[in-house]
Structure 1
Amino acid sequence: MSNQQHQGLPVAGYKPQSDEKVALVNENKELEERILRQMDRLAALPAGTVDPRWFSIGRTAIENGFMALNRSIFQPGRASLPEDLPAHRAHDDLGRVA
């Protein structure tokens, strides 16, 4: 296995990722796409076959679940803001000056 680091997304809070983590997330993305395509087939069934309210709840739950799995692997951090304390000042986990 490679120890190559992929650059993080150019989005605040994202960091470089290993080949292994990228592969895991790509596997999850493939699984998610297969499930979403099955859901597309269900959505195309004649009216009344699938309850649209529960279908929507289920789709949202699946999308949220995969998002949570992928975030658990990539572990993005919080974004820094211009008004954040300078790095040389000590502060606790809540951002308060210690």
Structure 2
Amino acid sequence: MSKVSDRQNLVTTGIEDAIAAARETAGDKDVALMGGGVVTEALKAGLVDEVVLHQVPVLLGEGRPFFRALPEQVRLRLVEAVPAPGVTHLHYEIQR
């Protein structure tokens, strides 16, 4: 891990090391991941407890999937669905 600034560290040794460093920095707070590639790698490593998705009611027709290929299905349990103007916030727990 190398220090980029007072608020950022660069971890290039894998998702496990990156999340371990984030957890150490966060202390008792939650660690959030953003981006389909990062989240997919964390899911593959079994390091994700919850997923929060923000669904906007627009059909694009074509586009890129958010999640990349996973080796197996990931079962989710809906914890909360919150409708709001122009978006629905979906909070899921990973089922193990």
Give the TM-score normalised by the residue count of structure 1.
Answer: 0.22
TM-score when scaled to structure 2? 0.22
